[in-house]
A = this chain, B = another copy of it.
Amino acid sequence: MARTQGSHSDITGPRVREAALHLFARHGYAAVSMRKIAAEVGVQAGALYNYTPDKQTLLFELMRAHMEELLAAWDAATPPPEAGVRAALEAFTRFHIRFNTRRADAVFVSYMELRNLDPENFNVIEGLRRDYETRLEAILRRGVAEGRFAVAEPRIGAMALIAMLTGVNTWFRERGRLSLAEVEALYWDMVRRAVANQG
């Protein structure tokens, strides 16, 4: 036996990545075998190698795609400078929560599986992560320069805020007590006060 009915690269490729992302998020990269990914797709393990040269690259590409989509999405959602630095910070806060809760699997994998990346792959992902942190850092710096924010260490402030916002993923559930809009409002309130100048 060999090629099955309905088989097609345009269909199987995305399904492989979906299955891998889901399984990696749930059980971890090292605990998920190529055979398990193949079973989830409904295919034999060997067929996966039409879509990735190896398991490591499959992980890396998932993480890279996520980080690049994150950066592109934020760059597309960044308010114009004339909207003011406060609007920029609010936009970042809400964007981060919204984007990350909608892609919980990719966020989880991109953070948890860093240690399973080859050194060169790790450096790429780490660079993208730094890029993203720098976006927020720039907002904080501008706010300080304009006398609107009080942040002694903008780089550390950026990392602290991102850690806080990403933490939403550990408890937020779509059908929970609080809507996404309510969660955004709660966190924006904390972010705003954490960096505010007055008070």
| Chain A interface (Cβ < 8 Å from any Cβ of B) | 26-31, 112, 115-116, 152-153, 156-157, 159-164, 166-168, 170-171, 178, 183, 186-187, 189-191, 193-196, 198-199
Copies of this chain held together in the complex: 2
**A156 CA to B165 CA, complexed, in Å:** 11
Whether A189 pairs with B152 at a CB distance below 8 angstroms is yes
**A199 CA to B192 CA, complexed, in Å:** 11
Closest to A163 in B: B167
Chain B contacts for A195, CB-based, 8 A: 190, 193
CB-contact partner of A163 in B31, B112, B115, B166, under 8 A: B166
Q: How far does the Cβ of A89 sit from chain B's closest Cβ, in whole Å? A: 14
Known: A153-B186, A156-B186. 8 other contacts (CB 8 A): A27-B115, A28-B116, A31-B116, A160-B164, A162-B167, A163-B163, A193-B193, A196-B199
Closest to A31 in B: B30
**A187 CA to B199 CA, complexed, in Å:** 17
